[in-house]
């Protein structure tokens, strides 16, 4: 007689997240776009080594930032994005906000720091897969002493994920962390598609940032990025875009 046993708990998987943002919550709603991007890696050393080798090969040792994309360095930034797609099982998750649709007064009493912390925890929790635990390194921001960013985000992720899934979060200067630079370029490129959609930026096909956007679209086999969608590429790579709508 075959003995029936109950399945045990799934083994925990530790992962690393690198988070950056685009736009500001506290700026006027006419500056319509705010976005967060999270690069998730199980073995960050693989991408890190690729970036180091790429910088040595190209002789580029400055910080990669989407804001600095120009016609003179476009090829360099295309190759940089390619490193993400060459790294097995790398994941990128993003959430984009049209600030005209955000009711920060009703939900957060216009406390932009609490709203930022809530959106950050939402992004982290929704980026986790079953059994995953994560430590997040985020691009540094100036916040008031009473913000309690780390404590508040950990608490919110625990509620959303129904487990203590975020076991560490801290802020670092992006110029010292190559993976944060990758998060910057990816969320910046995705955000640019939404800037065109929201008519914050004009549609100029000769613009270097637009041409970088087209390069990313080609990597994802799509001709339009400014909408919610889950993309999958070879090597187990996942790329998720979530356009947030205020649920009232």
Domains of the chain: 13-244 (3.30.420.10)
Q: Is the pLDDT of residue 245 over 80?
A: no
Beta bridge partners of residue 239, listed in sequence order: 92, 231
Q: How confident is the model at residue 5 (pLDDT cuts 50, 70, 90)?
A: low
pLDDT computed for residue 3 by the predictor: 55
Alpha-carbon span 197 to 145, nearest angstrom = 36
Mean pLDDT lowest for which of 9-13, 75-79, 100-104?
9-13
Q: Is the pLDDT of residue 29 over 80?
A: no
Tokens of 170: 């801290």
Average pLDDT over residues 136-145: 80
Share of the chain above pLDDT 90, in %: 75
pLDDT digit string, tens, across residues 8-18: 455 668 999 99
Across the beta sheet with 91-98, the strand order is 166-172, 132-139, 13-22, 33-41, 91-98, 237-244, 229-233
Rounded to the nearest angstrom, the gap between the alpha carbon of residue 116 and the centroid of all alpha carbons in its chain is 14
Alpha-carbon span 167 to 157, nearest angstrom = 10
Tokens of 32: 């319509």
Average pLDDT over residues 95-122: 88
Helix (H, G, I), strand (E, B) or coil at 153: helix
pLDDT computed for residue 248 by the predictor: 45
Question: What letters, b where the CB count within 10 A reaches 16 and e where it falls short, cover 60-71?
Answer: eeeebebeebee
């Amino acid at each position: 007689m075959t003995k029936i046993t109950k399945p045990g708990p799934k083994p925990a998987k530790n992962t690393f997240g690198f988070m950056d943002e685009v736009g500001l919550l506290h700026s006027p709603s006419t500056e319509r776009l705010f976005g967060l991007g999270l690069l998730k890696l199980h073995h960050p050393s693989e991408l890190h080594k690729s970036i180091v080798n790429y910088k040595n090969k190209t002789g580029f040792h400055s910080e990669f930032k989407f804001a600095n994309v120009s016609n003179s360095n476009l090829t360099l930034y295309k190759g940089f994005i390619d490193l993400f797609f060459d790294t097995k099982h790398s994941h990128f998750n993003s959430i984009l906000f049209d600030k005209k649709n955000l009711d920060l007064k009703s939900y957060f009493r216009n406390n932009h720091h609490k709203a930022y912390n809530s959106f950050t925890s939402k992004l982290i929790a929704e980026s986790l897969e079953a059994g995953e635990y994560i430590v997040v390194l985020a691009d540094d921001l100036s916040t008031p002493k009473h913000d309690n960013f780390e404590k508040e985000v950990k608490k919110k992720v625990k509620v959303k994920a129904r487990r203590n899934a975020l076991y560490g979060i801290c802020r670092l200067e992006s110029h010292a962390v190559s993976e944060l630079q990758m998060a910057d370029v990816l969320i910046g490129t995705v955000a640019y598609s939404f800037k065109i959609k929201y008519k914050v930026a004009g549609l100029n096909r000769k613009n270097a940032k637009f041409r970088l956007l087209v390069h990313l679209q080609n990597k994802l086999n799509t001709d339009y990025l400014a909408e919610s969608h889950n993309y999958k590429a070879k090597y187990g790579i996942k790329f998720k875009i979530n356009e947030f709508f205020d649920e009232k």
